[in-house]
A and B are shown apart, each in its own frame.
Chain A
């Protein structure tokens, strides 16, 4: 996997002046093509600010961000960058432009000046991909939160991006909507090789990622696989991150002298570990 997005010594503050509080303070990170990266961190850690640098919504005060070798500071490349890297926001209501589902999905390609016939094909394709094709003629306000968010994702897909950034896309949704959106994201990543950068508060979502980056006070404190990150409970607690229930269960069992070597990332693994443990007595 070659590098797709390069973040080099990224500093950002809303004020130009040197004493201003730095929201981002020297971030270095490479995002590989086709990977699924989750970004975790407590409120105000700079996650959202970081993600907005990846498609030139914000520009670094110091340092550089390169998307496929294009510097985000280069104004001529700005639309190339934004059609390569799409961004989904938290509130599904605020990012839908049109009243009809298919018109909203068409908004991106229309802006790019794509030919009408091609737009039609892309819109249908995008809506089928997020499983909203049956709703193409519906009004957007009659959809549920999860459906709205999937329409927003389709709107980005219709621009044929290589990467989608998602800024807490599920935090305003009910559990069902959350599952729908997460399944869509996973499908895009696995089957369509779209790079995913996901900011989330839900650890159950982060365990699906290839890598997790933890950010605190504008700095990246650790980048590693979910398994490595979640095995270090002390570290998680230090940065005020919630611990997935299955991880905590195994951890507490261990503390009470039960000899388990592995850690579990989801319920299935947890059940297997416990089964193996009980079987070892027979």
Chain B
């Protein structure tokens, strides 16, 4: 069951997107997300969607993987999409009892679902193509100015690295504990949701205990390797902004400007 989750996983590769500087990628993702929310009309929405799909094709990771990452959130997309159809005031096209479907409702629903889907696609785009270490390194560099406000940016980045590193380990552990509890006669698969949640408690408690044991070991291992916080620490990677990065920046900024222009045009038309 746990192997199906692709959200937030890294797929090594050497595509154009993989090779982009992680700092640039994080920033570009933020701009892309901004674009998604700024697109208030179909034209800009579909242009942004087209660019996102283009980037996805460039990663050379199969579309199926992207779809898998959406599987768990698809429910939310459908749910909000359907709710939005009914909960909007405007010109009614179809009426069924107390429910009415409005023109604006359908528009809203399409926008909300498209935005949610694109949100997931864009964040997958980043996490699929950036190794967790690169990602944390990029974030560490980007939030470094916050050091001035006495925020310990190195510690934050370290926590992120370790959290990401232990996700697969803990998932494996959960599988093992589930098997162990099943062998002792625990019933995990039948019953209603409440019962199933209750059945999960005997899995969580051992997981919790073993996590502390792991944390102790890890702290020991880190100390053995002379870890003493961020002070005087160097890094193996040296990041350079190269031609590809500049190209990607230009594309995304161009898109940003384009979306703004189209928005203005539509605004002018509607006025």
**A57 and B228 within 8 A (CB):** no
**B165 and A98 within 8 A (CB):** yes
Q: A98 — which chain B residues lie within 8 A by C-beta?
A: 132-133, 161, 165
Contact string against B for A residues 82-100, beta-carbon threshold 8 Å, 1 for contact and 0 otherwise? 1100110101011111111
Binds B, one of A26-34, A113-121, A268-276: A113-121
A55 in contact (CB, < 8 A):
yes
Please pick, from A86, A113, A123, the residue contacting B236 in the complex, using a CB distance under 8 A: A123
> A116 CA to B224 CA in the complex, in Å?
21
Distance between B133 CB and nearest chain A CB, rounded to angstroms: 4
Closest to B214 in A: A94
> A77 CA to B183 CA in the complex, in Å?
51
Q: B165 — which chain A residues lie within 8 A by C-beta?
A: 96-99, 140-141
A23 in contact (CB, < 8 A):
no
**A120 and B217 within 8 A (CB):** no
Q: B217 — which chain A residues lie within 8 A by C-beta?
A: 89, 91, 94-95
**A86 and B132 within 8 A (CB):** no
Interface residue count on the A side (C-beta < 8 Å): 42
**B224 and A114 within 8 A (CB):** no
Q: B12 — which chain A residues lie within 8 A by C-beta?
A: 137-139
**A97 and B233 within 8 A (CB):** no
Please pick, from B132, B220, B221, B234, the residue contacting A110 in the complex, using a CB distance under 8 A: B234
- Among B22-61, those with CB < 8 Å from A are none
**B238 and A116 within 8 A (CB):** yes
Interface residue count on the B side (C-beta < 8 Å): 32
Binds B, one of A11-19, A101-109, A197-205, A246-254: A101-109
> A123 CA to B234 CA in the complex, in Å?
14
Please pick, from A86, A99, A103, A110, the residue contacting B224 in the complex, using a CB distance under 8 A: A86
B162 in contact (CB, < 8 A):
yes
> A12 CA to B161 CA in the complex, in Å?
35
A155 in contact (CB, < 8 A):
yes
> A98 CA to B224 CA in the complex, in Å?
15
Q: B223 — which chain A residues lie within 8 A by C-beta?
A: 57, 82
A interface: dominant SS = helix
Q: Decide yes or no: A55 and B224 within 8 Å by CB, A93-B214, A96-B165, A141-B168 being known contacts.
A: yes
**B218 and A100 within 8 A (CB):** no
Distance between A8 CB and nearest chain B CB, rounded to angstroms: 23
Distance between B221 CB and nearest chain A CB, rounded to angstroms: 3
Q: Decide yes or no: A106 and B236 within 8 Å by CB, A94-B214, A99-B131, A137-B12 being known contacts.
A: yes
B1 in contact (CB, < 8 A):
no
B237 in contact (CB, < 8 A):
yes
Contact string against A for B residues 186-230, beta-carbon threshold 8 Å, 1 for contact and 0 otherwise? 000000000000000000000000000110011011111111100
B232 in contact (CB, < 8 A):
yes
**B236 and A99 within 8 A (CB):** no
Q: B218 — which chain A residues lie within 8 A by C-beta?
A: 94-95, 97
> A91 CA to B218 CA in the complex, in Å?
10
**B10 and A111 within 8 A (CB):** no
Distance between A214 CB and nearest chain B CB, rounded to angstroms: 25
Q: A140 — which chain B residues lie within 8 A by C-beta?
A: 165
**B132 and A113 within 8 A (CB):** no
A112 in contact (CB, < 8 A):
yes
> A112 CA to B238 CA in the complex, in Å?
17
A130 in contact (CB, < 8 A):
no
Q: A83 — which chain B residues lie within 8 A by C-beta?
A: 226
Closest to B161 in A: A98
**B221 and A97 within 8 A (CB):** yes
**B234 and A159 within 8 A (CB):** no
Q: B226 — which chain A residues lie within 8 A by C-beta?
A: 79, 82-83, 108, 111-112, 159
Please pick, from A82, A95, A100, A119, the residue contacting B131 in the complex, using a CB distance under 8 A: A100
**A113 and B222 within 8 A (CB):** no
- Among A58-91, those with CB < 8 Å from B are 79, 82-83, 86-87, 89, 91
Distance between B224 CB and nearest chain A CB, rounded to angstroms: 4
> A220 CA to B259 CA in the complex, in Å?
76
B169 in contact (CB, < 8 A):
yes
- Residues of A at the B interface (CB closer than 8 Å) are 55, 57, 79, 82-83, 86-87, 89, 91, 93-100, 102-103, 106-116, 119-120, 123, 137-141, 152, 155-156, 159
9 A-B residue pairs with CB within 8 Å: A87-B224, A91-B217, A95-B218, A106-B236, A109-B236, A110-B235, A111-B228, A116-B236, A159-B226
Q: Which 3 A-B pairs have the closest CB atoms?
A: A95-B221, A94-B217, A141-B168
Known pairs A82-B225, A113-B232, A139-B10. 12 more at Cβ < 8 A?
A: A83-B226, A94-B213, A96-B165, A97-B221, A99-B10, A99-B161, A99-B164, A106-B236, A111-B225, A113-B233, A139-B12, A156-B225
